[in-house]
Amino acid sequence: MYRQNDPEVNPINKYGCYYMSMVYLDEKVSGNKYTGNEIVGRWFKNWNEGDMDVETTILDPSGVLEDFSGLLEFVGKKPASYTPGPMEYEILRFVRPDGYVHFVVGDGTGQVEWDPWENSRTVREGKIESKRIFRVKR
């Protein structure tokens, strides 16, 4: 799995943490392993379709997921205290005291399973502000 700062997925880089976290979840659930070219190609497609803005702020998580395996659906934004149910997955939104934000994949208990920046400062110095919940489609 590529991290957002890997050269193979440039230009995603600095602002791609939520996007790359969704790619990680899709690979985990589907068993697919996407190449850097496939990820960047879908990133441009999602950007052109309005699923995200120029800074990779995700506007339509479902639209992004449909361009990968389509096995996951976006449930919604939940508070940090939310516990995922069966077949649900969490992406954690960390916020540092200085306002920086970073998304990582959670392990279902509010702990970090995978960080798209690996050992990010925002995870080290921040706290979980909210969660984005996804589930396997029924």
pLDDT digits (tens, 9 = 90+) for 31-74: 999 999 999 999 999 999 999 998 889 999 999 999 999 999 99
13-43: burial string, b at 16+ Cβ within 10 Å, e else = eebbbbbbbbbbbbbebeeeebeeeebbebb
- Boundaries of every domain in the chain: 7-136
**Which band of pLDDT confidence, cut at 50, 70 and 90, is reported for residue 128?**
very high
What's CA 110's distance to the chain center, in Å?
Answer: 15
pLDDT at position 47 = 94
Say if CB 11 and CB 40 are below 8 A apart.
Answer: yes
Mean pLDDT over 69-82 rounds to 97
**Residue 93 · residue 101 · CB < 8 Å:** yes
Distance of CA 112 to the CA centre of its chain: 12
Supply the pLDDT for residue 14: 84
How far, in Å, CA of 7 to CA of 135, rounded? 30
